[in-house]
Structure 1
Amino acid sequence: MKTQVAIIGAGPAGLLLGHLLRAEGIDVVVLERQSAEYVLSRIRAGVLETVTTGLMTRLGIDAKMKAEGMVEHGFNLAHDDQLIRIDIKGLTGRHVTVYGQTEVTRDLMDAAPGRGLQIVYEAKDVALHDLESDAPWVTWSAGGEQRRLDCDFIAGCDGFHGASRKAIPASALREYEREYPFGWLGILADVPPCHDELIYALGPKGFALASMRSPTRSRYYVQVPLTDKVEDWSEERLWDELDERFAGLSSRPIVRGPALEMSIAPLRSYVCETMRHGRLFLAGDAAHIVPPTGAKGLNLAASDVAYLSDALIGWYKNGDASGIEGYAERALRRIWKSERFSWQLTNLMHLFPQSTPFERAMQIAELDYVASSAAMQTAIAENYVGLPL
């Protein structure tokens, strides 16, 4: 097989990139090591910046998102019994949209056949070759046979554990990482949300989040030690914990229901600044991870894709290499700012095991300042709604 751009990974980053390139007549093949059903079973983020919704609209794959997405004009920070509303619409003139990453992925998958976007699922043992040449290629196995795809460029959109970043020599990697000493225990249930807008809460037991995926589907999280396992928590125990943490904060009582999914996610900040190596480009989680505090993961992937698609389109349409040469630098400016915001909000809204009384007092002082300062609220709103491309 031969194509112009090989995309590794059929998550939202890879599919968005594929659609943007196909819309300009560029040949693309997407390789995904899992089945389509497995990809859609992954439960992920649900708060979309306008950079992400704008790409869906640009592609004309936004009808379901516009019909079912929930436009949010604000969100809340809470400390003990104090609720601090961040009026993102009033402070920035913009909004976010609550629409699940799974639904974004499904919409992009459903649109692929009609737009000539070829996706190869269950492509096992993907390997990348000759990245520093003008003719890289990719191999994978299917049905016990090895397959080969020749291409001009490779886009690695295959996540933190994928093959793309691993194909870059260790001597060329520039990596930065911080792991946090706690995780988020989450539950997804078909129950109405307890509040009309998201609540990020810090209480005596640490962080908790009340969020939603739709008017009838809610997503809740609580901070737990890294030693905790899902098996340690019954659904009843988690609902009891949520009742306690959001009492007096939410506008409605928490409605209980059977869990559609329960899991514990560790928190990590990670950046690989080597977003280009020869003819390989990294995008999305293959290049960076943010803590979910601040809802930046999917949205950063979308901005990477916006930059990378512009660069590749410029190359094929105009013979312009400037976008390709400047891709990493351009993407990293936004990535580091989003990493900073996610790191800042994580530090503000969680209890750290080794925090001193002084550091705890600083958290309280910071939240008090946020509550009384329009300037601080504006800075938070600007970052939450998404910095410009």
Structure 2
Amino acid sequence: MRTQIAIIGGGPSGLLLSQLLHRSGISSVVLERKTRKYVQGRIRAGVLETGMVDLLRTAGVAKRMDAEGFIHDHTKIAYGNEVFEIDLKRLTGTPVMVYGQTEVTRDLYDARDSMGGDIRFNVENVVIHGADGDAPFVTYDANGTAHRIECDYIAGCDGFHGVSRQTIPRAMRKEYEKVYPFGWLGILSETPPVDDELIYANSERGFALCSMRNANLSRYYIQCSLSDKPEDWTDAAFWAELKRRIPQETAEALITGPAIEKSIAPLRSFVTEPMRWGRLFLCGDAAHIVPPTGAKGLNTAASDIHYLFDGLRDFYRDGSCEGLDAYSQKALARVWKAERFSWWMSNLLHRFPDQSDFDLKMQQAEIAFLRDNENAQRVMAENYVGLPY
């Protein structure tokens, strides 16, 4: 068969691109190696930048987000028992939206269903052919049958372990990576959030984050060892450790309950350059990873989709290749700024195993400077709500 755009990966970035293309009259097929239930069940971040919120509205999938999402004008930083606010709305003129990635994915699937979107699940042995030529195509197996899709362009939205990045010859790409010496243990609980705003906490025992999905669904994280496994932590042990890492007043207000999901995420910064090879374009985790501090993973994927969609729309509408030719440069310029912010927040809030007393004093001074200096708060706020596309 033939389509205009073959999209590899049925997560939120691939679905969002497919939805935007459909509304512009551009055909696509989405290939996903997992089941729909698996993709929709993945628990990820829930802080959406203003640019992504606008992009979801452009895609026509924002009705439930606008009705059920939480608009946040502030975020909070805690150090020991001290807490101070970053006034996002006052400093930047815009808030952030708290709406879980699981919900975004559900909305996108519902939209693609209503428009008859072609999404194929449980595909295996996906191979990209001819991406460096004028006639690319993708082959894959499904239910024991081989399939072939001819296309104009290919969007690789299949994550860090997908085939898309590996298709680019190793000699043609350069990879940058930093692996952090700790992970995040996160739980989801059917309990009311401990605070109306997100709380990022630096404590002597390590980092903690108090966040939420809705009025009765909370997400909490603590820094943990890379050798830990989720089953090493009972619910009681998690709650006790979280309380030790957040201000006493917050800990006393915390309502605990059984974990309905518990997982550990390693922290990594990763970028590959370029993000285009011939007619293959990398998007999201296929091209870059950020540590979750600052919630930039889904948001940087959305900015990639913005640039790629603009380029494809201009090509099919006007015959212009200018946007496609500039895609990698534009996307990477914004990605590296998001990488810097995530790196900065990670260094600000975590305890590192090799930190000296001097390093700890510098970290304390950095937090104090952020607390006391409005210009420093404005820089953080501008990055947190999302740099412009």
TM-score range, shorter chain: over 0.9
- The one-letter code matched in structure 2 to 1:138 is V
Do 2:5 and 2:29's aligned partners in 1 also have CA atoms closer than 8 Å? yes
Query: Measured at CA, do residues 249 and 201 of structure 1 come closer, stay the same or move farther in structure 2, by a change above 3 Å?
Result: farther
Aligned to 1:280: 280
**C-alpha deviation, 1:243, in angstroms:** 2.0
Aligned to 1:93: 93
Alignment of 1:162-311 (within 5 A): 162-250=162-250, 253-311=253-311
Distance in 2 between residues matched to 1:79 and 1:286, nearest whole Å: 35
Aligned to 2:312: 312
Does residue 339 of structure 1 match 2:339? Answer: yes
> Once structures 1 and 2 are overlaid, which stretch shifts more, 220-229 or 246-255?
246-255
Do 1:4 and 1:153's aligned partners in 2 also have CA atoms closer than 8 Å? yes
Aligned to 2:82: 82
**C-alpha deviation, 1:205, in angstroms:** 0.4
**C-alpha deviation, 1:116, in angstroms:** 3.5
- Root-mean-square deviation (Å): 1.0
Aligned to 1:6: 6
Distance in 2 between residues matched to 1:315 and 1:52, nearest whole Å: 23
Distance in 2 between residues matched to 1:289 and 1:351, nearest whole Å: 21
Aligned to 1:68: 68
Aligned to 1:38: 38
> Once structures 1 and 2 are overlaid, which stretch shifts more, 163-172 or 109-118?
109-118
Structure 2 gap segments, 5+ residues each: none
**C-alpha deviation, 1:252, in angstroms:** 6.1
Distance in 2 between residues matched to 1:92 and 1:64, nearest whole Å: 25
Aligned to 2:158: 158
Distance in 1 between residues matched to 2:217 and 2:110, nearest whole Å: 23
Do 2:71 and 2:98's aligned partners in 1 also have CA atoms closer than 8 Å? yes
- The one-letter code matched in structure 1 to 2:194 is C
Per-residue CA deviation, residues 215-246 of structure 1 (Å, 9 max, x unaligned), is 11000000011111112111110011112222
What fraction of aligned residue pairs are identical, expressed as a percent?
53
**C-alpha deviation, 1:117, in angstroms:** 2.0
Do 2:82 and 2:247's aligned partners in 1 also have CA atoms closer than 8 Å? no
Query: Measured at CA, do residues 39 and 179 of structure 1 come closer, stay the same or move farther in structure 2, by a change above 3 Å?
Result: same
Do 1:175 and 1:273's aligned partners in 2 also have CA atoms closer than 8 Å? yes
- The one-letter code matched in structure 2 to 1:128 is I
- The one-letter code matched in structure 2 to 1:92 is T
Do 2:200 and 2:209's aligned partners in 1 also have CA atoms closer than 8 Å? yes
Distance in 1 between residues matched to 2:101 and 2:234, nearest whole Å: 26
Report the TM-score, using the length of structure 2 for normalisation. Answer: 0.98
Aligned to 2:102: 102
Do 1:83 and 1:249's aligned partners in 2 also have CA atoms closer than 8 Å? no
- The one-letter code matched in structure 1 to 2:82 is Q
Structure 1 gap segments, 5+ residues each: none
Q: Secondary structure at the match of 1:195?
A: coil
Distance in 2 between residues matched to 1:37 and 1:316, nearest whole Å: 33
Do 2:284 and 2:302's aligned partners in 1 also have CA atoms closer than 8 Å? yes
- The one-letter code matched in structure 1 to 2:305 is V
Report the TM-score, using the length of structure 1 for normalisation. Answer: 0.98
Do 1:291 and 1:346's aligned partners in 2 also have CA atoms closer than 8 Å? yes
**C-alpha deviation, 1:255, in angstroms:** 1.0
- The one-letter code matched in structure 2 to 1:266 is P
Do 1:128 and 1:136's aligned partners in 2 also have CA atoms closer than 8 Å? yes
Aligned to 1:369: 369
Alignment of 1:54-65 (within 5 A): 54-65=54-65
